[in-house]
Structure 1
């Protein structure tokens, strides 16, 4: 009788939204032994590092400063998945979007992996392949907005939206990051190979989970039309178990694309739409900010790093 191999996993910061969801996913899988730390030691870097160094793989679900603080104390051979912004453009770290070029292969031996940001995932998934295939120039001036459910704001925002409300503003969509200096911009530029930061407007709305990211383009910016873009994206993601690219079909586009349609899922859909004359084009990605936008993406990376089936534990 075969004995199931147990991987020792630590979720550092398991009380936050992302950490809790990752811990819940792993608790349901018999191949994992979840390591724990005493409550009194949760803010002690040395105590945390001691647990991390006992693990086969650790998720960092921490503020940026705490994620940066712990890394020098961790052995290089311990596999780390950082869900914070801290290392997404850092030297020596692999950007954890398996679908991009050779990333899936690289994850099998990587020990330092940065999990993509939620809004960034929605931008990078359609844009990076088109830059890499020459349909969007690296110096293109891009415009993007991204709609998210309030769970993306973490515990405090969830509590704000789900408490008895006295603030009427919470019932309306609310653009934020109005200084155009959002924390996801560096990874959006770096991973896509862009020379100019996109004009990016995130929007939070009165629903729990789900995200829709829209990149708006002028045909004059592109080396191809909407059909070409959809074809290149479909070829790029052919065979992906997570990302689906819908064919460009202007005669059968739905009237609406609800941004919460994939809530509770770990998959992503990409749509290409265009004006009747083809002069204006939109790239739309739809997914769950808590799924492919955070914990689902982290679990997908973990599976590949440990040599497990890529989709194990994912809801697709």
Structure 2
């Protein structure tokens, strides 16, 4: 397998991982750190090298979250092809990438195709579809027994203890646009996702991967402006990305609105630490502000270990 990286991938690590999703009590969660790590932050790389990257790739990551507790194994495999041989900063490093992604946890399994397109360096586009199966374990999928939209941590813990999870299936389709730029070692991204989800349940439900409350059929949008700085003498070998993020989520039919602010990090470890892949450690710590039913200030912490297989 062939895997070449550029500064754009630093942005990808900054954007996606750094903990897009959330999970709930004693279960899973997909803390998507969509790792495409750096091999080259260096201007000395020729434009032909940048345009020639491609081939099959496979990424795997283990997501762990302490508040609330969550665990998930995520994989993404596909084929990537560079688009242009150009010295232009806007066109070098552009690509098209398509394949299959999966997420497996003690509570659920997701799988489906994706297509990612970087037509210019400052804009990344992605569409994906996921077919979802919930096993009914660990209290998920959680559908409250009364009309109250109670998805507090206490309610989720009680659901797990009483075995109230529902086994069911569903589908989700998402489209994402990510404006992005890099000036020196400062990187900025503002990924914005529009999604549709349909679940085979009778009433509103709590979805543990997104840590949100949905109607049986719902649409939503999420935006995550993120500003970061890259540390490290040789980023091609190892780097530390530090940044700040604000996330705003709005769901149409359930009426849920949520804001989260905090700081993130992404440490691309030296390749000598692992002979068969490139390890990384990412995380996000912050607070939900005016959470719908967890109070004005609700803490959040997510950690993810990732490995890019070469």
Fold shared per TM-score above 0.5: no
Structure whose residues are more often strand by fraction: 2
Give the TM-score normalised by structure 2.
0.29
Structure whose residues are more often helix by fraction: 1
